[in-house]
Amino acid sequence: MPDSITRLNKNYYYMFGILLLVLLWQLLAEQYPQVLVPSPYETWQGLVNIWTNGALGDNLKISFWRQITGMSIGLLIGLTSGMLAGWFSRLELLIQPLVNLLLAMPPIILAVMAMVWFGMGTKMTVFLVALLVFPIMHTNTVEGFKSIDPTIIQMSKVYRLPLPLAICKIYIPGMLHSLIAGFSMGAASSIRLTVMAELLGAREGMGQQISISRSYLETEQLFAWVLVLLFILASLEFVLIRPLQRWSSRGTADAGSR
């Protein structure tokens, strides 16, 4: 009962924080012209406009396809390289400089380089998302591999446990928390990277619509697209990431109790 009350209080405070932001937004809109800060109502009108003219649905489909494709490629490559690096320490040392370079380099630089290599459009966006999701998943996979009890791995080798069975019974359960963390970070990053890539070099998509709204000073539509992006990120957090993290924590606790 106390836990449920605590969660309820947290939700109240969270909603109250959102209301304060909206109030601050309205106060700023009253102090500045619409072209700088449109009011919440004007932004809502902009949102209705991009919904009714079809721009919202059409561009979301394009952005989601790019994001899911790039994220899937990056997660798959990062998972594979992370598993191999966990098994072979020398391979980990060979891959680590590339991983550190990608994590340290500002995404904007890689976006400009991708525009030079692939031009403007889908290929550039998918490449950039995959390239920057890869080191996130790789790092979390390696950390998850290292968190597995070495004695259990040694026992599986002594008893000659088949590799597919060892992966299902030892590696995946032991790495589950880290894998979910890598997926969560990669998914959230992939959305931001997709929008950034489209903003810089795409002919369609949500980022390109933001760029057009900025160019024509259609600030209410600019704010509307930002709200759409925030809604997507919030939905990802509450609908997918947090349930996965709770499920992972329950699975880890159950495994520990056994």
For 169, the 3-state DSSP assignment is helix
Residue 2 lies in a domain: no
Give the range among 51-60, 84-93, 148-157 with minimum mean pLDDT: 148-157
Residue 19 lies in a domain: no
Q: Report whether pLDDT(254) > 70.
A: no
Q: Per-residue pLDDT averaged across 163-180, rounded?
A: 80
The range of the structural domain enclosing residue 116 comes to 38-257
Give the C-alpha separation, 100 to 142, whole Å.
13
Per the CB < 8 A criterion, the answer to whether 80 and 171 are in contact is no
Give the C-alpha separation, 229 to 203, whole Å.
18
Indicate the pTM of the whole model.
Answer: 0.84
Whichever domain contains 225, its CATH number is 1.10.3720.10
Residue 154 lies in a domain: yes
Residue 3 lies in a domain: no
> How many structural domains does the chain have?
1
Q: CB neighbours of 127 closer than 8 A, spacing ≥ 6?
A: 70, 114, 117, 118
Q: Report whether pLDDT(86) > 90.
A: no
Q: Report whether pLDDT(232) > 80.
A: yes
Backbone angles phi, psi at 40, to 5 degrees: -55, -40
Render pLDDT for 185-224 as a digit per residue (tens, 0 to 9): 999 999 999 999 998 877 889 999 998 898 888 899 999 9
* Amino acid 8: pLDDT: 57
Residue 62 lies in a domain: yes
Q: Between 162 and 234, whose confidence is greater? A: 234
Tokens for 33, please give them.
């012209």
Model confidence at 250, pLDDT cuts 50, 70, 90, reads low
Give the C-alpha separation, 229 to 53, whole Å.
18
Residue 55 lies in a domain: yes
Render pLDDT for 9-36 as a digit per residue (tens, 0 to 9): 677 777 888 899 999 999 998 898 888 8
**H helix or E strand, kind and range, residue 95:** helix 89-104
Residue 223 lies in a domain: yes
* Amino acid 1: pLDDT: 44
Residue type, 44: W
Tokens for 135, please give them.
């080191």
Q: CB neighbours of 160 closer than 8 A, spacing ≥ 6?
A: none
Q: Which of 106, 86, 111, 110 is nearest to 96 (CA)?
A: 86
Residue 42 lies in a domain: yes
